[in-house]
């Protein structure tokens, strides 16, 4: 468990990273840095923003959501991204996926590096999420950096991508696991993309999703990549059904649901795997009525499908 001091530092650092992510989310897809330069500027009039008005979350509250230079309304999503990043960094510090908490007595390269790598992983996924929501793209600088840092990080921090194989040098074994995770994440998603495109005669999954899953696999290993893809498909399907019923539009950005699956895998991989491979099969064996439960789920799914088809024809 990390010291309270480091929890506060992690949250503040996360808010600062969130402010940087806001600029990245805005500039990267549209290349606005070529127009306004490298400094923080107002997205409406181009005026430079002084440092004291760039304080994460607090500056937006102080200005009441309006730009000090031109009075234009600043979207509430800016402080939201900063708050989400602060919370995620706090959670990373309090419940480190590596199992190594930061304290005054234990801080070193070996204890700090896993936290920094996981912080990069989470920050990258947050940026991917909001860009995909806005533009339906996952920019190469984000996905490629996820792959590269994941593989290099596994070499620097043995065990980052999963359990190490026996009889192999820890760094080499960790690098092998990360590379295998990259291959599985990339390969499975690419295979589903090709198959679905050939069946439906339409691109059902973007190539950015393939690259994103390659980066996720580099960080989480082959089993983490598979679990991420599974959770992303389930959550995306549920959201798509609800969206189709409510808005009559089932087209969704798949990247954010892969991100959701990756975050669940990062923090709760062990209990999720135990539920899927141990708890659920045991429950089925011990309960004679489990087929009825499965039948009910199938019936509900069929009913939803009928509703979707009817609504689709009506529209």
Residue spans per domain, the chain = 1-113, 136-286
Residue length of the chain: 315
Closest by Cα among 112, 84, 133, 315 to 236: 133
CB 218 within 8 A of CB 182: yes
**pLDDT tens digits for 191-245?**
988 887 776 666 667 889 999 999 999 999 999 999 999 888 888 877 877 777 7
List helix spans (H) across 28-139: 33-36, 58-62, 77-94, 109-135
| pLDDT category of residue 312 using cuts at 50, 70 and 90 | very low
| pLDDT category of residue 300 using cuts at 50, 70 and 90 | low
Helix (H, G, I), strand (E, B) or coil at 45: coil
Closest by Cα among 42, 27, 26 to 81: 26
User: What pTM value is reported for the model?
Assistant: 0.85
**pLDDT tens digits for 272-283?**
888 877 887 777
């Amino acid at each position: 468990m990390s010291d309270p001091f480091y929890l506060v530092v992690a949250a503040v650092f996360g808010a600062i990273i969130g402010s940087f992510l806001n600029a990245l989310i805005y500039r990267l897809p549209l290349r606005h840095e070529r127009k306004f330069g490298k400094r923080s500027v107002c997205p409406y009039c181009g005026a430079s923003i002084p440092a004291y008005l760039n304080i994460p979350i607090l500056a937006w509250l102080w200005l009441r959501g309006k730009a000090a230079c031109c009075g234009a309304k600043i979207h509430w999503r800016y402080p939201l991204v900063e708050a989400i990043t602060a919370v995620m960094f706090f959670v990373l510090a309090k419940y480190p996926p590596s199992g190594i908490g930061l304290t005054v007595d234990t801080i070193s390269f070996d204890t700090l590096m896993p936290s920094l790598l996981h912080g990069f992983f989470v920050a990258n996924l947050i940026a991917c999420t909001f860009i995909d929501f806005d533009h339906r793209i996952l920019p190469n600088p984000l996905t490629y950096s996820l792959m590269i840092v994941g593989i290099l990080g596994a070499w620097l921090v043995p065990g980052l991508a999963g359990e190490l194989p026996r009889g192999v040098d820890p760094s080499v074994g960790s690098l092998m696991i990360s590379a295998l995770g990259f291959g599985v994440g990339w390969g499975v998603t690419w295979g589903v993309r090709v198959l679905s495109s050939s069946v439906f005669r339409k691109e059902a999954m973007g190539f950015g999703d393939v690259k994103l899953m390659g980066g996720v696999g580099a960080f989480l290993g082959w089993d983490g990549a598979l679990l991420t893809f599974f959770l992303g498909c389930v959550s995306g399907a549920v959201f798509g059904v609800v969206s189709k019923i409510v808005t009559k539009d089932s087209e969704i950005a798949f990247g954010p649901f892969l991100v959701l699956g990756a975050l669940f895998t990062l923090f709760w991989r062990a209990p999720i795997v135990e539920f899927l491979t141990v708890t659920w099969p045991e429950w089925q064996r011990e309960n004679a009525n489990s087929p009825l439960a499965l039948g009910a789920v199938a019936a509900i799914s069929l009913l939803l499908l009928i509703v979707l088809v009817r609504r689709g024809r009506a529209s």
